[in-house]
Chains A and B, each alone.
Chain A
């Protein structure tokens, strides 16, 4: 059984790579065929990921999901650098693994239907698969250096997606993205080796809880990790690459970027930052908390003044990721759970929002809010879906967005003290602002008389329904049954934070 699980674990990462290779080798004339092949591989990847993640539940026995990774593979790769090929899946990574596989499948399927201008669709589909492999590897890696290797894998493919298929100002935006994120990842490299050299191992399971590293090492390592992941997440004031990248990226690029790529930052902060350097995390938590709340407020305030649809959604990501980071900063189990579910919710909802924004921009050829008035009159279904996604995003109870934001605030209150209470109040205020700007967005876009741009827009096509409905259902499901994303997280989180209590 373990062998089967190990094969499955490798397959989850290997299937997308194999898919990309097959797509690259197909003749250029079979462009559509190549995109279909990519979708088939993405679907196979999703099946593998689902079986892997649901294994403990399918089997009933054979591994208690609340105890550490239930599937694990560990083989020496480069002993000279201390790199082990060590993958594993536990409650922290499982929901993100499924989300990644799902979003990639939806994006590949979307690419079969529609290729953005700029390059061949087959290359785009291949890049999406490479991205998937890198992101999944990051979530599954249990070796610090391996984590870093996968973290770097996604840099250039994402650059290529933005620079190749993006909007008019794509080159600058893509360059900004890649330089910013490389800056983050070299800091990660420094942090990883600060830890590996001091501890003599890169095994994240062994390192979880501090491994008896000295205070100084933990402080230095956490500072490096925090900045590295703050660039990726992104945390204000290191967020400025994000709005440009999102505005210029093609729809599928935005979906992957917002849906799962940003999660590498927050997941890394929990797994690597808090896990490996817990004392450093406690030491830095006030700074992180203040920055997170600043991100919430700045993101919301900027959103209030945005006039462009995709840019507004991008800035709302800054604000949402602020809630996630606030949860992490509280360094309590509640806060970390809020961060995990916030991650998933943001991935689902913002993925959907970017799909919708892309669809609107493709139909009306404008993203300016002022030109989009009256969408409800001409495309009631599209406007309705946008309304659903916006309301989910602003955190209406019963939908996915609620849990992460509410419990981040609760965790900050639980933490107690003047500072954290103030932060909680400010974050709650930011939550209210989120409602304000999303309602403003809806008022501007869907209500009012139909503007010339929105007259005669085509209805939602069947492929679009296929791509969007899983996200709609997930937003509902996670909202109603948050345990979907949280089962099996309690013990790993307690292990991460418990070392200090």
Chain B
């Protein structure tokens, strides 16, 4: 049996995969412009996502394995933007030879292709394949660093790899059980099993949720995340906590929409946000703190998923990845190429030396805490609480609200640290040359940070466009 393939519908995927090939060719024949090729390809992918089409492909009857919706287009746009942003963040790292200039952008582009597949996936197998394509290159990226702290990178990569493989196996087992119990693989056709297979179907659904929960680093399946983020180069950690997490959220959203997984997800959500926030309170290293905070944020995303509020969860996820990206970009800008996130104390007074980078970091942290000046985080929090109360899950909304208070304690600690005057021991230093120098931030980083911050602020003022696209 032959199947008609709608190549136009597949354009974003072609563009994303083409990006990877383009980078490879640029590396092979020119030996330079790999980064430019990556940025160009990401832009092309974004453009292809915006070409309006309303049909899917790989269909059997009404059910398609590749579903084209405006939501998928928006998410592709987000994946492409994140990839381009991380590429730009990596520019100084690549220029100074901390990572191989060809392989690094190539792997990121491959990962982007996986993200595109996840966004458009219409059945469980496509979804899992997409998710694997999204994460597989990241194992290498985490460990891919020349020079110092090789060991930390390698151990982070291996931890991440093992955990990820196990989670994929669990998710596949869940999909298989669900298929055995209900005969459904397409996301729109998923339903709870009845009769003698009810138990089997429930087990399958639970395993799927657990498998995907690994990807978003939900407690108790979170232990890999802080070590991996901290061991990876800062731009890669940014990608892990934004694009990779978004993929996991999409996968979870697809599953919980049709299956009765509320209780499992609710328990995961409460554990995730509470544990994430409490542990983050005690962190002394920047990237670890962000990692634990991103664990807690995953809990907020899971909460509406428990009540099947998929749109609220996705809207929150989009606001979250924007703010998280800005936070990581600011950290990368403050630390300079080749450095890891460093200890929190290293950021003492950084906001005074680099006022604009400091302001961007404060904007991002306040947003992650759900507070103005950026309205994106505020509306994200409001969305979650509104959807939970509207769905009758008032108690969960209360848990989210209390967690927001706990979370503010550490966000505000970091933000305050940026503006602390560094205490000089003994005699006071009068010579300005002896004070920590105002670090020069590379142009690529400044631009990325500026674009990220502007997009985050604009999204805060016009959140309705995001809601409309997600609903449409």
Residues of A at the B interface (CB closer than 8 Å) are: 28, 77-82, 119, 130, 134, 145, 148-149, 152-153, 155-156, 159, 163-164, 171, 174-175, 178-179, 182-183, 186-187, 189-190, 193-194, 196-197
Contacts and interface: CB of A to CB of B under 8 A. Distances in A.
Nearest to A183: B405
16 contacts: A78-B379, A78-B467, A80-B471, A81-B379, A81-B463, A149-B372, A149-B378, A155-B372, A156-B373, A175-B412, A178-B412, A179-B408, A183-B402, A190-B398, A193-B382, A197-B386
Contacts of B361: none
Interface stretch (B89-97, B209-217, B389-397, B446-454): B389-397
Nearest to A188: B401
A194 B405 contact: no
B419 interface: yes
Given A77-B464, A178-B408, A153 B372 contact: yes
Nearest to A164: B419
Given A174-B416, A178-B408, 7 more contacts: A78-B379, A80-B468, A81-B379, A182-B405, A186-B405, A189-B401, A197-B386
B409 interface: yes
A82 B379 CA distance: 12
B310 interface: no
B397 A79 contact: no
Interface residues of B, number: 33
A82 B390 CA distance: 12
A255 to B, nearest CB: 22
Contacts of B366: 156
Listed from nearest, the 7 A-B pairs whose CB atoms lie closest are A80-B467, A186-B401, A193-B389, A153-B372, A197-B390, A78-B464, A183-B405
Interface string B359-390: 00000001000011101001101110110011
Contact of A189 (B381, B416, B468): B381
Given A155-B371, A156-B371, A194 B394 contact: yes
B187 interface: no
Contacts of B382: 81, 145, 148-149, 189, 193
B386 A193 contact: yes
Contact of B385 (A28, A153, A183, A190): A190
Contacts of A80: 383, 463-464, 467-468, 471
Contact of A190 (B389, B390, B413): B389
Contacts of B298: none
Contacts of A153: 372-373
B404 interface: yes
Interface string B432-472: 00000000000000000000000000000001100110010
Interface string B332-369: 00000000000000000000000100000000001000
Nearest to B406: A179
Contact of A187 (B401, B419, B467): B401
Contacts of B419: 119, 163-164
A149 B405 contact: no
B308 to A, nearest CB: 16
Nearest to B412: A178
B412 A193 contact: no
A379 to B, nearest CB: 33
A130 B464 contact: no
A131 B177 CA distance: 57
A130 B379 CA distance: 19
Contact of A163 (B378, B398, B401, B416): B416
Interface of B: 355, 366, 371-373, 375, 378-379, 381-383, 385-386, 389-390, 394, 397-398, 401-402, 404-405, 408-409, 412-413, 416, 419, 463-464, 467-468, 471
Q: Chain A interface secondary structure, helix, strand, loop or mixed?
A: helix
A157 to B, nearest CB: 8
A78 B378 CA distance: 13
Contacts of B409: 175, 179
A193 B385 contact: yes
A189 B405 contact: no
Contacts of B402: 183, 186
B314 to A, nearest CB: 12
B233 to A, nearest CB: 31
Contacts of B413: 175
A159 B355 CA distance: 18
A189 B355 CA distance: 32
Which of A153, A159, A174, A182 has the most C-beta atoms of chain B within 10 angstroms of its own C-beta?
Answer: A182
A261 B369 CA distance: 21
A261 B394 CA distance: 29
A193 B408 CA distance: 21
Nearest to B402: A186
A79 B468 CA distance: 10
B394 A186 contact: no
Contacts of A164: 419
Nearest to A134: B372
Contacts of A119: 419
B371 A79 contact: no
A152 B467 contact: no
A220 to B, nearest CB: 8
A171 B416 CA distance: 8
Contacts of B471: 80
Contacts of B383: 80-81
B371 A193 contact: no
A81 B381 CA distance: 11
Contacts of A171: 416
B372 A81 contact: no
A390 to B, nearest CB: 35
Contacts of A182: 371, 404-405, 408
B386 A152 contact: no
Nearest to B366: A156
A189 B385 CA distance: 8
A171 B404 CA distance: 20
A190 B467 contact: no
A415 B378 CA distance: 41
B367 to A, nearest CB: 11
A20 to B, nearest CB: 10
Contacts of A148: 382
Contacts of A79: 464
B204 to A, nearest CB: 33
A241 to B, nearest CB: 13
A148 B372 CA distance: 11
A164 B419 CA distance: 8
Contacts of A189: 381-382, 385, 401
B113 to A, nearest CB: 31
Nearest to B466: A80
B389 A197 contact: yes
A152 B468 CA distance: 25
A220 B467 CA distance: 29
A197 B397 CA distance: 13
Which of A152, A153, A187 has the most C-beta atoms of chain B within 10 angstroms of its own C-beta?
Answer: A152
Contacts of B379: 78, 81
Contacts of A134: 372
Contact of A81 (B386, B401, B416): B386
B427 to A, nearest CB: 20
A187 B385 CA distance: 11
B5 to A, nearest CB: 36
B404 A149 contact: no
Nearest to A198: B389
A183 B397 CA distance: 14
B405 A179 contact: yes
A196 B419 CA distance: 39
A194 B389 contact: yes
A82 B372 CA distance: 19
A21 B246 CA distance: 33
A183 B405 CA distance: 6
Contacts of A155: 371-372
B375 A149 contact: yes
Contacts of B397: 190, 193
Nearest to A148: B382
Contacts of B463: 78, 80-81
B464 A190 contact: no
